[in-house]
Chains A and B, each alone.
Chain A
Amino acid sequence: MNIRRLAIANRGEVAVRIILACQELGIETVLLHSDVDSGTKAYRMADKRVCIGPAATASSYLNISANVQGALAGGVDALHPGFGFLSENPDFAEAVEKAGIAFVGPSAAAMRKLGDKVSCKELANKLRLPLVPGYQGEFQDVAALIAAAEQIGYPVIVKAAAGGGGRGMKILRSREEAKELIESAQREALSAFGSAKVFLEKYLERAKHIEFQIFGDATGRVVHLYDRECSVQRRHQKIIEEAISPSLTPELRRKMGEVACLLAESAGYQGAGTVEFLLQDEEFFLLEVNTRLQVEHPVTELVMGVDLVKAQILTTAKKASLFERSGMVPRGHAIECRIYAENPYEGGIPSTGKLGRVYFPEGPGRRFEVGFEAGDEITPFYDPMIAKAIVWDETRTRAIQKMLRVLSDAIILGVHTNIPLLREILMHADFVSGEMTTRFMEQHFSEALPQPELLAWEKEMVEQIYRKTPKSEKATGGASANPAENPFMATWRTS
């Protein structure tokens, strides 16, 4: 088929990324946006815009019929869902296809098979692929649960079957404490979620997050484009990603890549996807499959020399026989840092408001994915990620050096960003050595960063700057003229 016009059901930097790919392919774009998102880069770049609803995501970016109606009004042949929002919702994919619009992504059936955790595990079991050992059975008396825990092997984590968010979770380390902790988890589960039912799972306390980029072409063949490591995460939100992982032996890499392709091929997967694993002590376990483009796709693009977004669109148009299985070899090392609008000196509290000066230092092997520019408003309605900085260099060490320099030279005024935190992470011994695990942030950065004191000469410069900056630029002030210091006692929910 021919795609002449494509709708983007997303916002921010990924919408910009998709628009750029379409521009190069000669495809017109229609941005489906909420009413508060007219001050964004994607809005200014799209050929057409359709407002699909108010700020609240439930009535705009997560509203299936509003998006389908918007796409129809835009007269598009295809729709790209980006990531997040409705990108992994099979009902959305179905609704789009039903409206006669090609969905850029896997079929709804493949999404249901792989995207749903339970059915993905069933499929993986059938294929005898490695899953995190666990017990999800009906027997809930303590003796049966202890027996199951013994079979799994300590440490074992007890989770509320109906829950999430850390409540009802206990870690069992020995038989002696198992009974008491299981009973306590059951009580907490009952009071928090109304059901005492619990699951058991092997607790991986030194695990690394490794994922494989897969791609299924129109013929049903699935290839992988090597791996990424995303162990640096907080509250299950990734912060720094890199390709390829510094932690895999060639043997592990080969095995995991095979597992990823086998799983995707058996589900009839088409387009870009990611198979996530946990790796501990040279043993790997399947975690889940993300049936969409990934936030961190640029690191793969840089080391593999591919354009995943174009490949997605061309696959949807059935125009491409993509990536040959042989001859694809990663080159050098790429790192991505997610720049969040938050204050690292106050434990990551979101920072909103109009952006002042924004500057990213361009250079060889540097790439910036930006969704907002000076004058744009960072609103409290959506994800706090405002940009991504991605670097490529010949080795991991040089890529880290380059990223440190890039972050030091980048200027963002008007909202606080996590740049100081990113720099601390990049300089941490466990990150530099490549030994970080998924608990890295919790172990080393659970507290707010200490606010750096200005040196004497810096204070002098600040006084000069204060005197010389024209106050005519001074805005009206108002409620947001708040001191940098936060007078409120507050805590982030930690899971």
Chain B
Amino acid sequence: MRFEFEIDGRRLIAESEWIRGQLWIYLDGKTFIHASETELKSRASKKSGAPGLARDLMAPMPGKVTKIIGKPGDPVKKGTAVVVLEAMKMEYTLKSEGEGHIEALHCQVGEQVVLGKLLVKIKPKS
């Protein structure tokens, strides 16, 4: 949907569109996703959650699993590389956010994964 605003006599163009459940907005040279109220809430709770705690690794983008470093039971620390994903000819390394151990692997090398798929279950150190 197209919008026209006027700010101090200057005409601004905006365009908006719901795509895959998100509101995309172009506003005067900036493009961004509108953060809905639920999103803002979940972000806030994420931030207030214990920082540096290990958590499950999920695919931050669709791609192919090219490498799994470690097996169930292996200890991880903050920054330990666990899974390598490849998409669009680029490599992306998923690292643990905190201390704990690998509980289970939910992906295999060579597997094509979708965005948000659980790849590795990590049990945080209690």
Contact = CB atoms under 8 A, between A and B. Distances in A.
Interface of A: 235, 341, 349-354, 356-357, 359, 380-384, 408-409, 411-414, 416-417, 419-420, 452, 454, 457-458, 461-462, 464-466, 468-471, 473-493
Contact of B31 (A417, A474, A487, A492): A417
Contacts of B60: 349, 486-488, 490
B21 A476 contact: yes
Nearest to A355: B19
B94 A413 contact: no
Nearest to A476: B21
Given A474-B18, A482-B116, A485-B43, A380 B62 contact: yes
B1 interface: yes
Nearest to B5: A461
B19 A353 contact: yes
Contacts of A479: 114-117
Contact of A465 (B3, B22, B79, B115): B3
A485 B26 CA distance: 18
17 contacts: A350-B87, A380-B88, A381-B88, A411-B31, A413-B19, A414-B24, A417-B31, A458-B27, A458-B30, A465-B14, A465-B25, A466-B16, A469-B1, A474-B18, A477-B21, A484-B33, A491-B95
The number of chain B residues touching the other chain, given as a range, is 35 or more
A488 B27 CA distance: 28
B3 A475 contact: no
Contacts of A416: 31
B97 interface: yes
Given A380-B63, A412-B31, A469-B1, A478 B97 contact: no
B17 interface: yes
Given A350-B61, A408-B29, A469 B94 contact: no
Given A350-B61, A414-B17, A461-B14, A481 B3 contact: no
B95 A414 contact: no
A353 B21 CA distance: 12
B15 A492 contact: no
Contact of A468 (B3, B20, B87): B3
A359 B31 CA distance: 13
